[in-house]
Amino acid sequence: MTSYLLAGGGTAGHVNPLLALADLIRDGEPDAEIVVLGTREGLEARLVPERGYELVHIERLPFPRRPNLAALRFPARFARAVRRTRALIRERDVDVVVGFGGYTSAPAYRAGAREGVPVVIHEANAKPGLANRLGARGTPYVGVTFEGTPIRNARVTGMPLRPEIARLDRAALRASAREHFGLDPERRTLLVTGGSLGARAINRGVSGSAEEITAAGIQVLHVWGGLTELEDPAVEGYRVIPYCDRMDLAFAACDLAVSRAGSTTVSELSGLGIPAVFVPYSHGNGEQRFNAAGVVSAGGALLVEDAELTPAWVRDTLIPLVGDGARLAEMSDRARGAGTLDGTERLLELVREAVARG
């Protein structure tokens, strides 16, 4: 029996690939022991137990970015987290540590190295985070989602994806998926989403042209997210929902997606061959622009800035694109060529290599 310690949390970008790997391990090794290291504050606090995995908490430890009281306290707090994790590794006789970045990964990487346990790192973004960059200095087992990710010892594994996405048959489900959302099964469909938190520029930029879009024979499924404002345009054929817990059906329903460029979203859309317009989040370290670069350069997607989402852009670019079946088909092929749906399996192969070599 193999004992796995999976570390990562805070955001869906860290938690979802962790859970995808955990599910695949559990499917193939029912007797495996899987323990997840996380915090009480991140999404893992809810999602990991809901999926049936044990969650062990450590303190949330953001790296200090400037000299202040938190920076003075950080070394002692970090050392305490490492000691806690080392004790867990010994207690559970852990065979391998797999980290996905975030606040819990850095102590896990250090603890694994101190205990002589192989460490595997997965970096979701094309612009790697600090915890993974530092951790990669101490292990040869580093999987990345995107080609060209600047991190030591990188091997392209792709993004671990949920089984319902990786195994999705869009063509077979298209009509029923559209009916699920109250849409016409035969009508060309645009999916608009800014992620779970929404995206104000996407919401306003597209919904403001609802009448013009639908007048062109296009129907819209708009997932607006809960933390941004959106007034439902109340136009027939323009379906607005606050959240979507069946993104697999949303992907099956659409012919084109307008979306932020988080690593999971880029990986899902490109792997499924869904043409996309990516609107990268303009704050943070700019990783979303890099995430989308590969599929955009391959011709499977367009990149548009927040400020470009104007009524004129919708009229002159978006509406003609959704109506152009031949171009959408070509973009679909190019997107699929730039993506992959077997990232979970490829990461597990890397993990098993690490375990075999000890």
Closest of 11, 8, 40, 31 to residue 21, by C-alpha: 8
Predicted local confidence at residue 98, as pLDDT: 98
Q: Pinpoint the residues of the chain covered by CATH 3.40.50.2000.
A: 3-161+342-357, 166-338
pLDDT at 229: 67
Predicted pLDDT of residue 31? 96
Superfamily of segment(s) 3-161+342-357: Glycogen Phosphorylase B; (3.40.50.2000)
pLDDT of res. 239 = 96
Distances (CA, A) of 56 to 24, 52, 76, 109, 255: 20, 13, 20, 16, 42
* CATH architecture of the domain with residue range 166-338: 3-Layer(aba) Sandwich (3.40)
99 touches 105 (CB < 8 A): yes
* Ordered mean pLDDT values, 10 residues apiece, the chain (358 residues): 92 89 96 95 89 92 70 80 96 98 92 98 95 96 97 97 95 98 98 75 90 98 78 90 93 97 96 97 80 97 94 96 98 97 98 94
Identify the pLDDT of residue 7: 96
Measured in residues, the chain has a length of 358
Residue 94 to residue 248: CA distance in whole angstroms: 34
